[in-house]
Structure 1
């Protein structure tokens, strides 16, 4: 459900009266708003409780949802309904679009990014789970049109040196390690936003030549991508989108095409997991074509992997298999040691196999999925805790497709063992998928015990 901001008055009687006059139930109104949001390219999860909060507690959904509330009630009443009538006039904040811009000018790009970082930790609505695919349109088009800026030099009040760059790189390395082990909600991962505001922003406004500037923009882009990934992992999709957009813009300022390719691939992955598989295909294919002559094979291989996952979500087995094979070929060309960027070192053959398991689970091909899973066993739970926990949930679902309930529950319980130590809403989604797939066996004693455990240990309502 998208985040809300508290209003000054205790209740919204105008809205309550209009809902009553319309004859709509709170549940049906919430369902229609979710449908209108989806039609507008947003993903929301409002419920009757949300509507109750708007009425009784004077809370309002973030913009532009108030317009959808008015439209839904207008449909019921057979006439236009204004924001004033529902008590939500003037709820759009002046900086509601903060972090969504992708300026053409590098100076403006720094201004937009630093403004966003200065407010993101204090903006309640940015912890919302809403997702608007349309927010990616302009950034994607502009990056594909021009993935690099001509110069990164800047004159400011303080000189930026190599020691400053190394500090930011160490912060990024540490955040990546903690995120892999403990999830996006871990203290180290979530502290990236503070690093962007307090350390990166002043440096971007400093004085540096072209080479140092490009490195500064690149490492700051990676930090912004990490902040977005942490938000994405915790289900804060609104904030994640904005961090990813800024990361893509900063990668362009740094002239770092392969990092831009990686960021765009990550954006595609978020789009895919929010239900926009076709758009994700377009994004990764564009990223690959733009970077194929400059990015390392491992980066391009990851792009093809996400393309395979997107095709699998559309149930296109042939194209998914072709993209997966391309990813495997490119990964075979990658160097195990060399000058590849640190941020892509996680993508190994074990990780490819783990994702291939998910690809074939989505294609409802448990035989192929289990074959790939055998090759993914090399993933170390101590290093990639979250990934291992998610893979176990995926494989457990695959065993259900093969009608092997005992093995599925065994793996499901192991997944809960691991994920109970990880702060990741995304990881819990995989457990939810497994519990949903258990529906035909819900009367089984062992299944009931597992569902009780997920409620207790993970807080998952079944």
Structure 2
């Protein structure tokens, strides 16, 4: 092992200090013994950090050391890296994951959502001490104006996601390439503490958006890792509201994948950690809690969370709310209420929310498809096959322009519910329209 050969076998802190000194041309590094600990367990530092490591080892062992000898493999990325202990580690983890996506490396194929890591991330986000300073001396100067351009681009990617779904690999690859080429150098640049915190917030929003796109595409392990990194960047920024929103997204993913009990804990941690919040944010957080309770079959807790969300939404003032929560409308709340009440087998109550669930802005194509599929499935669960088929036909008009694993999943749920009734003409016609061939 190179650490032992170089005399650092039991002196990981000393190696980290030498690395920080050798890397001063890249800016102020703050690696320590904990950084070495995680590198030894699979975390892969940025490529220029690896190059500097070879310089340190070469001087100590007396002969050139190649990067390949360090043992880091670009394509073998553990997407279940824990919540980063520092902002610097979050930056390195982000760059590692973004680079993987631009090079089309696949994460480990035998992993999906990790509840234990999600809950550990929630605890660390809620209770770890805030970062003292984020000022940095690095490779390029970063100004407040540079950071503002990132917010504009984040809105652009968000709009693409809502219109077309996260299932387009081209859009995700484009976003990952932008993060590697533009955002990563800024994170390693020179900035004041104030600019640094704003930069961390912008990076958190971009990582959070790529996480949601990955979740919508069915890449759940990658989505979770992006959410974990984004959560740590939001922590560094001191933005508890956006951190709580990310944690609620993690809860939403957990509900989707069947981890309802853990989703409840994540949603409650988001509500607790957000502390005093604008009404619009509070409404969004309570809907995440309602979804988790509904999937767990906890009727009283679910209905209580829905009531709190509805009251908060009635008081929401978008002029005083963070811009990222402005998407959350009465239609989004209605869609959540429809799903929750359907999970609780309260179909008549659920369908009362159907008209409002479709009162969406034109750009929300994916959400409209999701809500349409949900309305059709709820009618099917309630035994009204005519209505289910009617809404199913509407769904066939909503799905062609949307690439989303979640929409495909909802369509498949509807097909499964109706398959026992295929002898009926309207059911068979709908099944054919949805691309399901007749049984042989």
Q: How would you bin the TM-score normalised by the shorter chain?
A: 0.7 to 0.9
Aligned match of 2:174: 191
5+ residue gaps in structure 1? 1-62, 64-89
Task: Describe the shift of the 1:189–1:166 C-alpha distance in structure 2 as closer, same or farther (beyond 3 A).
Answer: farther
After superposition, where does 1:213-228 map in structure 2 within 5 Å? 213-228=196-211
Aligned match of 2:159: 177
Please give the per-residue CA displacement for 1:214-239, whole angstroms capped at 9, x wherever unaligned: 11000100100111111110101121
Q: Does 1:122 align with 2:86?
A: no
Q: Aligned equivalents of 1:118 and 1:93: distance in 2? A: 9
Q: Aligned equivalents of 2:173 and 2:252: distance in 1? A: 20
Aligned match of 1:251: 234
Q: CA offset at residue 316 of structure 1? A: 1.5
Q: CA offset at residue 135 of structure 1? A: 3.0
Aligned match of 2:12: none
Aligned match of 1:383: 363
Cα contact 2:100–2:106 (8 A) shared by 1? no
Q: CA offset at residue 440 of structure 1? A: 3.3
Q: Aligned equivalents of 2:119 and 2:267: distance in 1? A: 13
- Report the secondary structure of 1:313's partner residue: helix
After superposition, where does 1:54-453 map in structure 2 within 5 Å? 95-97=76-78, 100-126=81-107, 130-146=112-128, 148-186=130-168, 187-188=170-171, 190-293=173-276, 295-338=277-320, 340-380=321-361, 382-453=362-433
Aligned match of 2:53: none
Cα contact 2:76–2:108 (8 A) shared by 1? no
- Report the secondary structure of 2:191's partner residue: coil
- Report the secondary structure of 1:447's partner residue: helix
Q: Aligned equivalents of 1:460 and 1:301: distance in 2? A: 44
The TM-score, its normalising length taken from structure 1, stands at: 0.75
Q: Aligned equivalents of 1:460 and 1:313: distance in 2? A: 32
- Report the secondary structure of 1:331's partner residue: helix
Q: 1:454 aligns with which of 412, 434, 438?
A: 434
- Report the secondary structure of 2:189's partner residue: coil
Q: Aligned equivalents of 1:193 and 1:105: distance in 2? A: 22
Moved more, 279-288 or 396-405: 396-405
Cα contact 2:101–2:173 (8 A) shared by 1? no
Q: Aligned equivalents of 1:117 and 1:446: distance in 2? A: 47
Task: Describe the shift of the 1:246–1:461 C-alpha distance in structure 2 as closer, same or farther (beyond 3 A).
Answer: farther
Q: CA offset at residue 149 of structure 1? A: 2.1
The number of residue pairs the alignment matches comes to 368
Moved more, 119-128 or 100-109: 119-128
Q: Aligned equivalents of 1:126 and 1:450: distance in 2? A: 37
Q: Aligned equivalents of 1:284 and 1:104: distance in 2? A: 22
Q: Aligned equivalents of 2:202 and 2:279: distance in 1? A: 20
- Report the secondary structure of 2:238's partner residue: coil
Aligned match of 2:23: none
Please give the per-residue CA displacement for 1:394-453, whole angstroms capped at 9, x wherever unaligned: 111111233221111111111121112101001111111111111331221221222222
5+ residue gaps in structure 2? 1-41, 43-70
Q: CA offset at residue 146 of structure 1? A: 2.5
The TM-score, its normalising length taken from structure 2, stands at: 0.78
CA RMSD after TM alignment: 2.5
Q: CA offset at residue 147 of structure 1? A: 6.9
- Report the secondary structure of 2:94's partner residue: helix
Q: Aligned equivalents of 2:438 and 2:74: distance in 1? A: 34
Task: Describe the shift of the 1:184–1:97 C-alpha distance in structure 2 as closer, same or farther (beyond 3 A).
Answer: same
Q: CA offset at residue 99 of structure 1? A: 6.5
Aligned match of 2:64: none
Cα contact 2:201–2:234 (8 A) shared by 1? yes
